[in-house]
Chain A
Amino acid sequence: MKHFLLATALVLSAPAAMACETVTIGDLTVEHAWSKVTIGAGRPGVFYVEIKNTGTSDDALVGIATPAAGMPMLHETVVQDGIASMPHAMSIPVPAGQSVQLAPGGYHGMLMGLTTALKEGDSFPVTLSFEKAGEVTVNVVVLSLRAEGPDCADAGQ
Chain B
Amino acid sequence: MLGVGAFRTRNRPSRSEVLPVPIGQMTWTLTDHQGRLVRPSDWAGRPVMVFFGFTWCPDVCPTTLSDISLWLEELGADANRLIVALISVDPERDTPDVLADYVSNFDPRIMGLTGPADEVAQAAADFRATYRRVAKDAGDYTMDHTAGVFLFHPDGRLASIIDFHEDRRFAVPKIRRTLS
Contacts and interface: CB of A to CB of B under 8 A. Distances in A.
A and B: real partners?
Answer: yes
Interface of A: 36-39, 42-46, 71, 75, 77, 79, 81-86, 104-105, 108, 110-112, 144-148
B63 A105 contact: yes
Size class of the contact patch on chain B: 20 to 34
Interface of B: 14-16, 55-56, 58-60, 62-63, 65-66, 69, 98, 101-102, 105-106, 130, 134, 136-137, 140, 142, 144-148, 161, 163-165
A46 B59 contact: yes
A85 B142 CA distance: 9
A46 to B, nearest CB: 4
A126 to B, nearest CB: 15
A83 B130 contact: yes
B66 A146 contact: yes
A75 to B, nearest CB: 7
Given A44-B58, A82-B147, A82-B148, A146 B14 contact: no
Given A43-B56, A145-B105, A84 B137 contact: no
A82 B58 contact: no
A147 B63 CA distance: 9
A15 B144 CA distance: 33
Contacts of A84: 60, 144-147, 164
Contacts of B15: 81-83
Most-contacted residue by chain A among B15, B59, B101 (CB, 10 A): B59
Contacts of A79: 60, 147, 163-165
A75 B136 CA distance: 13
B108 to A, nearest CB: 13
Given A83-B146, A84-B144, A71 B60 contact: no
A45 B148 CA distance: 23
Given A77-B59, A84-B146, 5 more contacts: A38-B58, A39-B55, A39-B105, A71-B137, A146-B66
